[in-house]
Structure 1
Amino acid sequence: MSVPQPQDGTPILELRGVDKHFGAIQVLHGVDLKVYPGQVTALVGDNGAGKSTLIKSIAGIHPIDGGQLLFEGKPVTVTGPRDSAALGIEVVYQDLALADNLDVVQNMFLGRERTKGILLDEASMEQAARDTLAKLSVRTLKSVRQLVSSLSGGQRQTVAIAKAVLWESKVVILDEPTAALGVAQTRQVLDLVRRLADTGHAVVFISHNMVDVFEVSDRIAALYLGRMAADVPISEVDRTRVVELITTGRSGDLGIEPAAVAEVGA
């Protein structure tokens, strides 16, 4: 379960000058981002800042138009989701993409089922699901054979995260994992996010909730209208500065250059 980590401080995932256009509209402008193993990097920004486009570019859903992606220090080309998954990048989207009519095991192996001859290898899949949940210290599920339709929001999020980890992922991107959850369920998910990083995974945590961000993150990357305003250790900023970065693109000595901010806001 523990993911080998580079010893030289190399980001496991790095974006350099990434651009993305949709027709005549440029959504991402020269975005730089560094994501490190064993750390939670919070990706924050207002609605329309480009967060979804950025993670879908990393996932290969939207191939980039300019710039470079590096994985484990080496340039890579990601032209589709298969390329991203092959590198070890898994994305848990906000809709979770779980099938209510299937149980936990069936969801975790959906589309990647194990077979023994012409039959499904149910015993192997069930054991792998149990092992993955155990290694993440998940104790909120009564049975891996529960239907997903019977699970709470927090339990569903747990299954979706465990599904991402099952496939030997190195980078796990979580899109608003605590949205619409109650206090107790949010606590469970935040604990799981932290355990993911502690097992060596690089975690990208997308959230609007600054309380959650400051509780669980090691770094913070703030997007402002498609530009990266800051990508820094979270110890270097406070909530006020992060809100300023999100809303104006600049806070003190951090952020987009004033001339660029004026250009973006024009």
Structure 2
Amino acid sequence: MAGPLLEARGIVKSYGHVEALRGADLALPPGEVVALIGDNGAGKSTLAKILSGVEPPDDGEILLDGRPMAFSSAEDARAAGIETVYQDLALCADLTPAANFFLGRELLKPGLLGRLGLLDDAAMRERARQACERLGVELKSQDAPVSTLSGGQRQGVAVARAVTWARRVVFMDEPTAALGVVQTRRVLDLIRGVRDSGVSVLLISHNMQDVKAVSDRVEVLRLGRRVARFDTAQVSMEELVGAMTGARG
């Protein structure tokens, strides 16, 4: 395995008397999809929040390209090339896909109009269209608010937005939750497209079929610690479930 692009070592996080992470480790190689699995309460989302700058760790170390990093905010992680697709997608329902793409990163018109604060709506719409096209995200209209899109299309907008800005890593938290069969297949194709574009993916999922279908490696958390690592092609569903529950032989 290549040296990790992003690595967590001995991450500890408590909320009052509740220990969410008890020395958790994780390694994300470059250009791969790594699935992070575990039962409810294993610490998956907490670890992802720490790696994406949303939460500070109580102890432990985060390394990017082998260099220690200290993310004090999500903006710090984004500046390092790390983007997140949250389970609730974090899209503004009343805005168009392009407006969601560039929320907080709006493009201004060139010249005097830009200095006066006028937005370059045409440029943002075209760049959003190109990003969706690269990943095979089909939208009925770039001018319709995302509230009018299907669940799979909204997921596609969130993924394409993350990939547009991510230079190194995309975290995806339960990206197929509540989606139908066809929409799930499209999202899994999006994840493969992200990996093929050279961006590493950390996939948090309870769906073992999705994990087997799209990941290169699997890391298992249980009770706040990493308890197993697998090459996806060489592990069975029974072994994954056994590692999650502590029942593996």
Q: TM-score, normalised by structure 2?
A: 0.94
Deviating above 3 A after TM superposition, structure 1's stretches of 4 or more consecutive aligned residues are: none
Shift of 1:168: 3.6
Larger mean CA deviation between 70-79 and 19-28 belongs to: 19-28
Which deviations, in whole Å up to 9, do the C-alpha atoms of 1:119-139 show, x marking residues without a partner? 00112211211221122132x
Q: How does 1:68-217 map to 2 (within 5 A)?
A: 68-116=61-109, 117=114, 118-138=117-137, 140-217=138-215
Match of 1:15, SS state, is: strand
Asked if 2 retains the 8 angstrom alpha-carbon contact of 1:15 and 1:70, the reply is yes
What is the rounded CA distance, in whole Å, between the counterparts of 2:221 and 2:102 in structure 1? 34
Larger mean CA deviation between 196-205 and 17-26 belongs to: 17-26
| Percent identity for Structure 1 against Structure 2 | 51
Shift of 1:37: 2.0
Aligned to 2:33: 40
Shift of 1:38: 1.5
Asked if 1 retains the 8 angstrom alpha-carbon contact of 2:11 and 2:60, the reply is yes
Shift of 1:27: 1.2
Aligned to 1:251: 248
Matched, 1:11 2:8: no
Match of 1:119, SS state, is: coil
Which deviations, in whole Å up to 9, do the C-alpha atoms of 1:16-62 show, x marking residues without a partner? 11111212322111111111222111111111111111111111111
Aligned to 1:22: 15
Asked if 1 retains the 8 angstrom alpha-carbon contact of 2:83 and 2:166, the reply is no
What is the rounded CA distance, in whole Å, between the counterparts of 1:169 and 1:251 in structure 2? 37
Aligned residue pairs, count: 243
Which deviations, in whole Å up to 9, do the C-alpha atoms of 1:155-180 show, x marking residues without a partner? 00000001111114310011111011
What is the rounded CA distance, in whole Å, between the counterparts of 1:187 and 1:231 in structure 2? 25
What is the rounded CA distance, in whole Å, between the counterparts of 2:11 and 2:147 in structure 1? 39
What is the rounded CA distance, in whole Å, between the counterparts of 1:122 and 1:48 in structure 2? 43
Asked if 2 retains the 8 angstrom alpha-carbon contact of 1:37 and 1:197, the reply is no
What is the rounded CA distance, in whole Å, between the counterparts of 1:61 and 1:236 in structure 2? 34
Match of 1:48, SS state, is: coil
What is the rounded CA distance, in whole Å, between the counterparts of 2:57 and 2:103 in structure 1? 28
Amino acid at match of 1:81: A
Aligned to 1:235: 233
Amino acid at match of 2:129: R
Amino acid at match of 2:201: V
Q: CA RMSD in A?
A: 1.3
Structure 2 unaligned spans of 5+: none
Asked if 2 retains the 8 angstrom alpha-carbon contact of 1:172 and 1:201, the reply is yes
Which deviations, in whole Å up to 9, do the C-alpha atoms of 1:77-134 show, x marking residues without a partner? 1111111111111111111111111111111111211112110011221121122112
What is the rounded CA distance, in whole Å, between the counterparts of 2:92 and 2:44 in structure 1? 26
Aligned to 1:60: 53
